[in-house]
Each structure stands twice: as C-alpha cells, then as structure tokens.
Amino acid sequence: MENRTTAGAASASPSPTYGSYLRLPEILAAQTPLSDAHDEMLFIVIHQTSELWIKLCLHELGAACAAIAADNVPPALKMMSRVARIQSQLIQSWDVLATMTPADYSRMREKLGSSSGFQSHQYRLMEFVMGNKNARMIEVHEGTPDIKAMLQAGLERPGIYDLSIRLLATRGLPIPQEAIERDVTQPYAANPAVEAAWAIVYRDPERYWDLYELAEKLVDLEYRFQLWRFGHLKAIERIIGFKRGTGGTAGVPYLAAVVNQVFFPELLDVRKIL
C-alpha cells in the first residue's frame, strides 16, 4: 500500500507554476526584432498584446451573442461591459505606440515586408461580429485555409446586432420579416421599421429595461470601437504622416475612411425622434 502511494505521488504531474501556467517562456520568447531599431520592440509588443486583447474580446462577444440568441440578456450585458473595458486598454495602447519616433520606424520599416495590420484575422472577425461584413476582406487569407475557413464562418454567422434585432421580434416588437431574414453576409443597412421598434424601447425603458440596457451597451461598443480606430489613425499619422502603409494599404487615408463607418445606425438615429 505504501509503495503504491509513493509510486503514485512520484508519477503525478507537477503542480503548475506561475510561469508554466501562463506559458511565459514561450510568450516572452516571441519578441524577435528584425532590425537594430530600438523602437521595434515597442512595435512588436503593442501589436502582440493587442492581438491577445482582441482574442479576449472575441471570447466575450461570442458568449454575448449566444446569450442574446437564447433571450438571456443579463449575462450578455456583463460580457459587453467587459469588452468595453478591454477596448479602453486597446485605445490607450495607441498612446504608447505614438511615442515611437519616425526615425526608428524608418529604420525597421523595410523589415516588415508586406506584413500589415490589415491582415489581422482576429480584427476582421471582430468587425464581422460587429456587423461590418465584407467578403473581400477574406481574400487576403487565401494562403492560410484554416484562417480563411474561420473568417468565412464568421461572415456567415449573424452579428451581435442582427441577433439583437431578432430578440426584439421575439419579445413582440414590430420587426419586419425582411430584417429578420436578411442576408447576414452583407453589410447591415438601416431600416426605418427597426428604428421605430427601438423607439418603442427608448420611450418606455422601465417596461423594456433589459432591451434598453442592451441598446446602450451596443452604442458603447460602437463608440469605443470608433475611438480605437481614431486612435490608430492619429498614432499612424504621427509616426509616418501620409506615406502609404505596409502591405499596400493607403495608410492614413484608409484609416480616415473607416473611422466614419457606423455599425448600429438605428441606435443613433432613434435619438433624433425621442
């Protein structure tokens, strides 16, 4: 009996340490500058940590979408509030990146080759969840079938706003059938009937409190997403001015154009009629 116990203890897996649980050796070995520019480490760390924050956003938004689809709004509100706090971290990261000097960026830029943040599949998935659907954005991932399949699935899933509109219909609000059955692979277009349904919610928040809170959480997500985009625009403008971006993008003009994209138009338009 004693021998079996001793043998069992010897063969048991060791308790994880802080470093092993978080896989710190692998994470901290993942910063490999390609130039002698001092600021390249900053550039790498900002983008790597941003991808980790976006991964958490996708985790929370996926669960929020499932809760909304199941007419279980309270957990979705918690998850969306968490995403808003994560977005604050992402927004602040541009302030750190903006300390990068143009001279140091010029020393490392050629090492980036054709790589570009435009190729971030996680960012694209987040846009798809928010409803900014564009099948052409998948084409850049032709060479990575797994990622392309992931993006295609995201394109074909209803975004968080489509699910919210369907929830309004489930609750008996007057949502037209074409809004419920629309092709979710296409960008969302404003619908006056949907605006009228949200107006009912906004005019009687006590009766529709969870739907009212859901609408405001959606507005908060869009507000912070736009701040994130604007912060990106200003950081890049400060570092490279109006040069073309890496990967063939238009740089600052492209970023300026997407800042004005709207995800949930009726939730802004409804304020005009209240």
Q: Would you say 47 is a known binding-site residue?
A: yes
User: Any known ligand binding at 44?
Assistant: yes
43 is in an annotated binding site: yes
The separation between the first and the last C-alpha atoms of the chain, rounded to the nearest angstrom, is 77
- How far apart, in whole angstroms, are the C-alpha atoms of residue 258 and residue 123? 13
Query: Helix axis angle, 145-156 relative to 121-130, nearest 10°?
Result: 10
CA angle 256, 239, 241 (to 5 degrees): 55
Residue 121 among known ligand-binding residues: no
Tell me the CA distances in angstroms from 87 to 125, 221, 262, one per residue in order. Answer: 15, 8, 17
Is 109 marked as binding a ligand? yes
Distances 62 to 76, 84, 158, 249 between C-alpha atoms, Å: 10, 14, 11, 29
Structure tokens at 7: 């043998």
Any binding-site annotation on 46? yes
Residue pair 30/48 in contact by the 8 Å Cβ criterion:
yes
- Which residues does the annotation place in the binding site? 43-47, 105, 109, 232, 246
**Binding-site residues for substrate, please?**
43-47, 105, 109, 246
Pick out the residues of the known binding site for heme: 232
